[in-house]
Amino acid sequence: MLNLTPLRIHQYIRRTNKGKTATSESLWPAIQQSKTYPRFLKIPLPDPVSTDTFVELLQKRRSRRRSDTSIYPTPQQLGTLFGLALREHKDHHRPYPSGGSFYPVECYLCTRLETDARPTLYHYQVKEHVLERLWELPLKLTTNDLFKADIETEALAVIILTARWSRNTPKYSDFAYDLCLLEAGHIGQNLSLAAETANLHFCPIGGFRDEKITDVLELDPFDEQPIYTFTLSN
């Protein structure tokens, strides 16, 4: 029997919400403020370095899970990755579209930098191009704990995109869900191309464990939930 669930969800989101404003426009500047962790250490990232043309990156792009080394992504590689894919421009725009310019999608990174005793959770702050060092990850946590499907080898880094529903639902109501997923797709493509120029193995993973990631990131699920994940390694 044909599964009609995707059709029903699509019809509901597209037809029952007309993009009408659900709150006063005067409140939007406060809603649009980027998430930040002011009490945590900020680690500045180097500016992006790239010698590839856009056409070359499109032709080189591959989804790669396997890694032949045990070398974690370097600060320069991460600076190139996030600087090209996510960093906010001087005019407050970003290198990807967002419905109403609310930018509800946040980016987290699980990896180990040179100063870390063990893998640690970071939040990428787009305005200052820094990693906010949050907390060390549990010793027993592995890549496969975060995903529903077994990964052939342990990824040396995991990128997690989350949606902060309170950022765009005041204007778009339930249609905000659709817009968050579209935005995550734009970001994912940016990351996949930037990973090529940073010489990183990169692979999108749609089958992740929502509750586990929500717990690791200490998210309030009524406001913020994971919507897309990626593995990253040298």
What whole-number percentage of the chain has pLDDT above 90? 41
173-185: pLDDT as tens digits: 888 888 999 999 9
Q: Average pLDDT in the 205-220 region?
A: 91
- The pLDDT value given to residue 180: 93
Residue 30 lies in a domain: no
Predicted local confidence at residue 86, as pLDDT: 95
**pLDDT for residue 14 is more than 80:** no
14 within a domain of the structure (yes/no): no
* Domain count for the chain: 1
Domain range enclosing 108: 42-233
Amino acid 50: pLDDT: 83
Residue-by-residue DSSP string for 153-196: S--SEEEEEEEEHHHHHHHHTTHHHHHHHHHHHHHHHHHHHHHH
Identify which has the larger pLDDT, 116 or 81. Answer: 81
Residue 32 placed within a domain: no
Q: Which residues contact 157 (CB under 8 A, 6 or more apart)?
A: 72, 73, 109, 110, 111, 231, 232, 233
Query: Rounded to an integer, what distance in angstroms lies between the CA atom of residue 107 and that of residue 180?
Result: 13
- Domain annotation covers residue 82: yes
In a domain, 190, yes or no: yes
Residue 62 has pLDDT above 90, yes or no: no
pLDDT, one tens digit per residue, over 15-53 is 656 555 555 565 555 555 678 888 999 999 999 988 888
Quick: pLDDT tens for 143-175.
Answer: 778 887 766 666 788 999 999 988 888 888 888
pLDDT of 17 reads 60
What pLDDT is attached to residue 55? 75
Question: Which is higher by pLDDT, 72 or 131?
Answer: 131
The type of residue at 125 is Q
- Whether residue 66 has pLDDT greater than 70: no
Long-range contacts of 149-155 (CB under 8 A, 24+ apart): 149/205, 149/207, 151/65, 151/205, 151/231, 152/65, 152/66, 153/65, 153/66, 153/67, 155/65, 155/67, 155/231, 155/232, 155/233
- Quick check: is 6 in a domain? no
Which CATH number does the domain housing residue 146 bear?
Answer: 3.40.109.10
Residue 1 in any domain: the answer is no
Please indicate, yes or no, if residue 73 is contained in any of the structural domains: yes
